[in-house]
Structure 1
Amino acid sequence: MLRRLVLPVLTLLFLAATLPTPTTAVAASGSTYGNARLDQWSWLTTHNSYADEGALPPRNQSRNISQQLDDGVRGLMLDTYDVSVNPDDPYVDLMMCHSTAACFESFRGGLGRVVDFLQANEDEVVTIFLENYASRETLTQAFTDVLTAKHAQNLLFSPTKYDIDKRNWPLLRTMVADNRRLVVFQDKWADDVPVRSSSDGRLMYTWSHTVETLYDYDGRPNGCASRNGNPVGQNPMPGTSLTPLFTMNQFDSSVLNPEAKAPGDNGASLKKRIDNDCRPAAGRNPNFVAVNFYQHSDTAGVTPLSVVAELNRNAYIYPPHPALWTVNSAKQYVGQTHETYASNRCMVRGEEFSDGQGGLVTQRVCANPAPSSHQWTATKPSYDGKGFYWIKAGNGSCLTVPYNNGTPPGVGTQMFWWPCETRWSSGSQLWNVIPVDQLGGVRAYYFVNQWTGKCLTLDPATTGAKAGKVTQAACPTR
């Protein structure tokens, strides 16, 4: 559902990339992730995800892996050990433990629940980070057993399939379409470990693909120190075109009571550390925000899950859509089609009506240099527009939805340019301006009419015409 955004009062000579990012965005229809790559999204991640009950304290979570996934957690940190089931039995099981003396449960059980979740939620991606103390044989056999038993042999991510060192991470929607939605890192061997049951699936070496902060956040009010020698701002990884995935650890692993410490780590200080320290240090948002007791916070309305959701709202990469417009330095509004970001169709002040008052708004091939008829500005109206804008043509007229005898017109109605109404607020001339990001970091905009609630839209059916239509259509929903 579209929610209106009230932008700050600005005197705009023309729209540019300086408009603030919205706190709520309208998204194009399609994948949950738009056109975002794996490295352009953020996930809530739990530290020692298995440590929810039993074994020895301290616990780091109070909900089991299945509950965590249901709640929105998408990154899991698991410690794996070879453990003898019986001193007189040669069989060794792979367990999730703090140490061999403090084991919680079998890794096969935990991995099985992750696979179950992914099979029941076909648009989701889950990442596992293994702090691994087990043998290569034990670890790969556990993956083989679970993936085979669940008929999920191709679920494991394949770095070779996507040639990530040369081509960077794939689009998330591509991973979803290919069903390569289980991403696993291991920190023990400096190669990507193949799993027998998974054709070209690999357990990727953590330090060839990721950067992260120190484990012990320790409640420091600032700082984003890196762990293991890889600077958090490193991009790309040496000798590759790969953007490393960035993990921000927001927990103190040395405290005896992690649950008592978690609320202070998970509220306002988490958001502040991302905004003031880790985003500036890395040059981008963290991909994995790792915490203890993720449901706890000391700040009303702020939790690790809400913080991550906000990161993704502001980082959503929008596919091409005819209701998206870019604005160039020549004050031209450049429309798009479903097929391409590279449209060269501009919104133009078209033919004047016979009575000499107003005229049609059309689309034409963008001109260079841009004549006055190709130029538009977004400005505050002369009265209080409640955060909405006039979109004014080069001759001072306003972009207008036809009045239609007071009945809001429907989809496909062609826009007018018309004298700006200065005596009172006229919703047919007021537009909500919503900035969004597209593939490649391009800034674009939705323009939503106050009266009709519909979006300014380039008509794809007439983009081949000398003077095509600029209309209104239902705004896409995310």
Structure 2
Amino acid sequence: MTMPRYAALCLLLAVAAPAPARTPDDMERPFDQYSWVTTHNAFTSNGLIPNQSQTIDVQLAEGVRGLMLDLHFSQGRVRLCHKVCTGEDSATLADLLNDSILPFLDKDTEAIVSLHLEDTTTFEQLSDELALVPRLAGRTFDPQAWETPSWPTYRQLRDSGERLLIFSLSETNTGSFRTGTGVAHILPSIEYTVENYWSLGTTFLQHDYDCYSRWAGKGRRLDRSTIEGKPGWRPLFTMNHFHGVPFSPHAGVDNRFERLSSRYMDHCRPAARRKPNFVAIDFHEIGDVAKFAEWLTLSAPDAL
């Protein structure tokens, strides 16, 4: 990144992003024009090798609006585990929704939260788990119910009550799920999002800043501009920015505004031809991630 460009970014940071990104002041833009702090392996704050140092409740309270969750079937339930579940101590998806996500949305009536699932369960297992969350009905975003020419605005989503967007990497575990007196909706990530390959490198000694599609082998380019069946709707862009093995002392380097903005301006923006909606990182409270997401929303040009 050239020094004039970096200096301009730093100036914009100081002026335009004084606080963590929570509910935007301007709610009239389509949802795909906002950017959010997103926590990778959001549930691992108490694990052996944590990706976060805070619980999900604290993350939400501090302005995180995207949560990446790994789902595994263990001990008869769908649980939040990274690769392997260690037993009944692993939290269940229903408990997370009933005890954390839905109460948070009840308390903050203007918040919109997105869940990004890496799901290894079966459709039946997931259906049984979601049936334990009766209050989920009517709370999840259903794009087929919207006939807007682009993504609904933030205000429209807020007013609709569909303030929980759920995306899944498992295409077989998407669609409508019966829960309570209605249904919950899960969207296929490969259709509704674009996403760069997730790793900066296995360890903090490696930094591969190239930005290329996670699904390049399936012909899904990072600059894909349309969602099938939804003309005028762009896929939401997840910018992954973390290592294979988390290391909290290095998060202060990876999560600096200069590192994030340099990768965005020099690599991800030319590849995706737009700004990210979800900035996915480890140890979100270390560094300048909230300020970077706020700068993206307030100041960054939306598309090349």
Q: Place the TM-score, normalised by the shorter chain, in its bin.
A: 0.7 to 0.9
What SS is found at the alignment partner of 1:145?
coil
Q: Does the aligned pair in 2 maintain the 1:211–1:246 contact within 8 Å?
A: yes
Q: Does the aligned pair in 2 maintain the 1:159–1:202 contact within 8 Å?
A: no
Q: Which residue of 1 aligns with 2:57?
A: 66
Q: Does the aligned pair in 1 maintain the 2:114–2:164 contact within 8 Å?
A: yes
Deviations 1:256-310 (A, max 9, x none): x43233222111211211122212221211000000011123xxxxx10111011
Q: Which residue of 1 aligns with 2:270?
A: 280
Q: Does the aligned pair in 2 maintain the 1:32–1:123 contact within 8 Å?
A: no
Residues of 1 paired with 2:215 and 2:63: CA distance?
A: 28
Change in 2 beyond 3 A, CA 1:275/1:186: same
The yes-or-no answer on 1:128 pairing with 2:115 is: yes
Letter paired with 2:289? P
Which among 138, 147, 152 is matched to residue 170 of structure 1? 152
Matches within 5 A, 1:18-29: 23-24=15-16
The range that moved more, 122-131 or 306-315, is 306-315
Letter paired with 1:156? T
The yes-or-no answer on 1:51 pairing with 2:44 is: yes
What SS is found at the alignment partner of 2:171?
coil
Aligned-pair CA distance for 1:231: 1.6
Question: RMSD between aligned alpha carbons?
Answer: 2.6
Which among 48, 73, 78 is matched to residue 82 of structure 1? 73
Matches within 5 A, 1:281-430: 281-297=271-287, 303-314=288-299
Q: Does the aligned pair in 1 maintain the 2:122–2:173 contact within 8 Å?
A: no
Residues of 1 paired with 2:94 and 2:165: CA distance?
A: 16
Residues of 1 paired with 2:138 and 2:249: CA distance?
A: 41
Which among 28, 33, 37 is matched to residue 40 of structure 1? 33
Task: Give the structure with the larger strand fraction.
Answer: 1
Q: Which residue of 1 aligns with 2:192?
A: 209
Q: Does the aligned pair in 2 maintain the 1:23–1:314 contact within 8 Å?
A: no
Deviations 1:67-86 (A, max 9, x none): 000011000000001102xx
Q: Does the aligned pair in 1 maintain the 2:71–2:81 contact within 8 Å?
A: yes
Q: Does the aligned pair in 2 maintain the 1:23–1:313 contact within 8 Å?
A: no
Aligned-pair CA distance for 1:153: 2.0
Q: Which residue of 2 aligns with 1:179?
A: 161
Residues of 1 paired with 2:24 and 2:85: CA distance?
A: 44
Residues of 1 paired with 2:189 and 2:222: CA distance?
A: 14
Residues of 1 paired with 2:250 and 2:222: CA distance?
A: 25
Q: Does the aligned pair in 1 maintain the 2:79–2:85 contact within 8 Å?
A: no
Aligned-pair CA distance for 1:138: 2.1
Aligned-pair CA distance for 1:221: 6.1
Residues of 2 paired with 1:158 and 1:60: CA distance?
A: 30
Change in 2 beyond 3 A, CA 1:102/1:266: farther
Unaligned runs of 5+ in 2: 1-11, 18-22
Q: Which residue of 2 aligns with 1:261?
A: 250
Q: Does the aligned pair in 2 maintain the 1:49–1:76 contact within 8 Å?
A: yes
Unaligned runs of 5+ in 1: 1-19, 85-91, 298-302, 316-436, 442-478
Deviations 1:359-386 (A, max 9, x none): xxxxxxxxxxxxxxxxxxxxxxxxxxxx
Q: Which residue of 2 aligns with 1:223?
A: 210
Q: Does the aligned pair in 2 maintain the 1:221–1:273 contact within 8 Å?
A: no
Q: Does the aligned pair in 2 maintain the 1:94–1:142 contact within 8 Å?
A: yes
Which structure is higher in RCO with an 8 Å CA cutoff and minimum separation 6?
Answer: 2
Aligned-pair CA distance for 1:314: 1.7
Letter paired with 1:248? M
- Could you tell me the TM-score, scaled by structure 1's length? 0.53
Residues of 1 paired with 2:114 and 2:83: CA distance?
A: 22
Aligned-pair CA distance for 1:192: 3.7
Letter paired with 2:290? L
Residues of 1 paired with 2:74 and 2:82: CA distance?
A: 12
Residues of 1 paired with 2:92 and 2:211: CA distance?
A: 34
Aligned-pair CA distance for 1:23: 4.2
The yes-or-no answer on 1:93 pairing with 2:77 is: yes
Count, aligned residues: 274
Deviations 1:396-450 (A, max 9, x none): xxxxxxxxxxxxxxxxxxxxxxxxxxxxxxxxxxxxxxxxx9xx99xxxxxxxxx
Letter paired with 2:30? R
Aligned-pair CA distance for 1:48: 0.3
Q: Which residue of 1 aligns with 2:94?
A: 108
Residues of 2 paired with 1:65 and 1:239: CA distance?
A: 34
